[in-house]
């Protein structure tokens, strides 16, 4: 996702806004003042802090920042005034002045529309089963308007009063997951209240609505130009089998290390060599361990469905996936895509920071894979506004 680097203070402000709203939500729910919606505590208000506006309206964000400082000062002055009798008049007057002079932002600018699921978290963990379920759901209900490739040019698109947006854009990263979920189930309307996007409540179970969001993210990666994904993707959750041990969840087994997924067609020659710089997981068509895995050639195999999910992310028909590799960094984000028969290089990075983050200077004479890993570590995926950007 290319764009200006947000200021550190602005990011801190957005994280604070997100966390305090989440805290309020849980407090309200714990006090029994709000119910649940789709299995999670419901946001009881029609408005929320518009983090997306603060991100682009710096003067407004500054106003909010100064007002918060004034508020913090006033609270501190009041606390000290309680304990310090002689200084009390001065403290009370300065607290009052701080509150009076603070550049309070206008509520209509600061707040944006919210839905009961605005702060919901997706329960899917971006699992391979969910991506594959989402793929089916999307093909059945969404391609007519949004198109097979997600660019909004399905056969019905031209007949709609409003063109569907392209999903191959940062859109899915900018919106909170819970609001995407709400838009899919409840539909959307234009300013005059006319429906634009149809509602799928009644047609889709919650599980399918969350799954289709996972698939749309995979689709945005699969159809991105120049190999730069508009939305960062997590390493998909999947069950893996290592040696004779019982299957475990990849997230538990990974232990904070880098992971490489390799789609293999089952012949011993196609198996990659182990590499101590990351854990290697073989992805096979049917989820079965290849008949012979020679020593030093990767220990773990992903269960069924990983093949289809990986093909969806790579943007390849499943029949052409063999040989493709995906590399995840130690924080669990997919960062690079390897092409069959080609050595790794730092040009394989698919989750790249904006132009402002210059590539680090590389020591001379290092191989392509080392250069790639150095860049991955030097440019971690960053958290912004309740979402993540590269």
For residue 251, count other CB atoms closer than 10 A to its CB.
Answer: 17
> For residues 187 and 380, which CB has a smaller minimum distance to ligand HEC in the complex?
187
Q: Does 121 bind ligand HEC (CB under 6 A)?
A: no
**Alpha carbons within 13 A on the beta-carbon side of 317:** 2
The minimum distance between CB 140 and ligand HEC, in angstroms, equals 8
Write out the two tokens for 332: 């669990």
For residue 129 the two structure tokens come to 């089963």
Question: Does 362 engage in binding with ligand HEC (CB under 6 A)?
Answer: no
Residue partners of 283: CB distance under 8 A and separation at least 6: 261, 262, 263, 264, 301, 302, 306, 307, 310
Q: What is the contact mask toward ligand HEC in residues 136 to 165, using x (rule: CB under 6 A)? A: -----xx-xxx---------x---x-x-xx
CB of 128 to ligand HEC, least distance (A): 19
**In angstroms, what is the C-alpha Rg of the chain?**
24
Q: Single out the residue of 131, 135, 160 nearest to residue 145, CA to CA.
A: 160
**Nearer residue to ligand HEC within complex by CB, 231 or 302:** 231
Least distance to ligand HEC, CB of residue 16, Å:
24
> Counting contacts by CB under 6 A, is residue 184 touching ligand HEC?
yes
Nearer residue to ligand HEC within complex by CB, 201 or 277: 201
Number of shown-chain residues binding ligand HEC (CB under 6 A): 21
3-class DSSP assignment, residue 81 = helix
Question: Shortest gap between Cβ of 325 and ligand HEC (angstroms)?
Answer: 29
Q: Assess 212 for contact with ligand HEC (CB under 6 A).
A: yes
Helical spans, DSSP H, in the chain = 8-30, 51-56, 58-83, 88-101, 107-110, 128-141, 143-146, 171-174, 177-186, 206-222, 250-254, 306-314, 368-378
Task: Give, as ranges, the residues between 189 and 208 that touch ligand HEC (CB under 6 A).
Answer: 190, 196-198, 200
Residue appearing with tokens 């990075």: 349
Other C-beta atoms closer than 10 Å to the C-beta of 85 total 8
Pick 198 or 299: Cβ nearer ligand HEC: 198
The minimum distance between CB 98 and ligand HEC, in angstroms, equals 38
Is residue 50 a contact residue for ligand HEC (CB under 6 A)? Answer: no
Select the residue interacting with ligand HEC from 48, 175, 254, 375 (CB under 6 A).
175
Centroid of chain to Cα 347: 22
In the bound complex, what is the minimum distance in angstroms from residue 163's beta carbon to ligand HEC?
A: 7
Q: How far is CA 273 from CA 11, 262, 291, 299, in A?
A: 41, 11, 16, 10
Whichever of 107 and 158 has its CB closer to ligand HEC, that residue is 158
Counting contacts by CB under 6 A, is residue 337 touching ligand HEC?
no
**Residue 181 in the binding site for ligand HEC (CB under 6 A):** no
Residue 238 to residues 251, 279, 356, 388, Cα–Cα distance (Å): 8, 14, 35, 22
- Please report how many Cα atoms fall inside a 13 Å half-sphere around the Cα of residue 217, on the Cβ side: 33
Interface with ligand HEC includes 185 (CB under 6 A)? Answer: no
Regarding 68 and contact with ligand HEC (CB under 6 A), the answer is no
Residues from 217 through 246 that contact ligand HEC (CB under 6 A): none
The residues binding ligand HEC (CB under 6 A) are 141-142, 144-146, 156, 160, 162, 164-165, 175, 180, 183-184, 188, 190, 196-198, 200, 212
């Amino acid at each position: 996702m290319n764009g200006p680097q947000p200021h550190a203070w602005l990011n801190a402000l957005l994280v604070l806004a997100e966390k305090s709203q989440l805290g309020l939500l849980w407090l309200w729910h714990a006090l029994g003042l709000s119910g649940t919606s789709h299995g999670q505590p419901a946001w009881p208000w029609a408005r929320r802090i518009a983090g997306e506006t603060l991100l682009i309206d710096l003067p407004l964000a500054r106003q909010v920042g100064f007002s918060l400082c004034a508020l913090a000062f006033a609270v501190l002055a009041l606390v000290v005034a309680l304990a310090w009798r002689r200084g009390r008049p001065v403290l009370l007057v300065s607290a009052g002045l701080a509150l009076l002079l603070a550049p309070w932002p206008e509520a209509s600018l600061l707040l944006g529309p919210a839905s009961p699921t605005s702060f919901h978290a997706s329960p899917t963990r971006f699992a391979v089963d969910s991506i594959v379920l989402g793929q089916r759901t999307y093909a059945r209900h969404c391609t007519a308007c949004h198109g097979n490739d997600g660019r909004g040019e399905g056969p019905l698109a031209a007949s709609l009063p409003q063109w569907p947006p392209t999903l191959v854009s940062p859109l899915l990263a900018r919106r909170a997951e819970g609001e995407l979920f709400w838009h899919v189930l409840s539909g959307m309307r234009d300013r005059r209240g006319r429906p634009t996007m149809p509602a799928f409540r009644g047609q889709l179970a919650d599980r399918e609505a969350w799954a289709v969001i996972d698939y749309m993210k995979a689709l945005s990666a699969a159809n991105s130009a120049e190999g730069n994904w508009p939305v960062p993707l997590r390493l998909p959750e999947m069950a893996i089998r290592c040696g004779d041990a019982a299957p475990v969840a990849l997230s538990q087994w990974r232990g904070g290390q880098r992971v490489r997924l390799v789609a293999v067609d089952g012949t011993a020659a196609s198996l990659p060599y182990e590499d101590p710089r990351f854990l290697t997981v073989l992805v096979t068509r049917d989820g079965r361990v290849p008949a012979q895995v020679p020593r030093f050639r990767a220990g773990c195999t992903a269960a069924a469905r990983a093949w289809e999910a990986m093909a969806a992310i790579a943007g390849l028909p499943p029949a052409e996936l063999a040989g493709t590799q995906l590399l995840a960094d130690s924080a669990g984000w997919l960062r690079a895509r390897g092409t069959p028969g080609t050595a790794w290089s730092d040009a394989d990075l698919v989750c790249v920071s904006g132009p402002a983050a210059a590539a680090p200077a590389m020591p001379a004479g290092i191989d392509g894979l080392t250069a790639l890993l150095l860049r991955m570590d030097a440019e971690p995926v960053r958290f912004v506004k309740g979402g993540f950007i590269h």
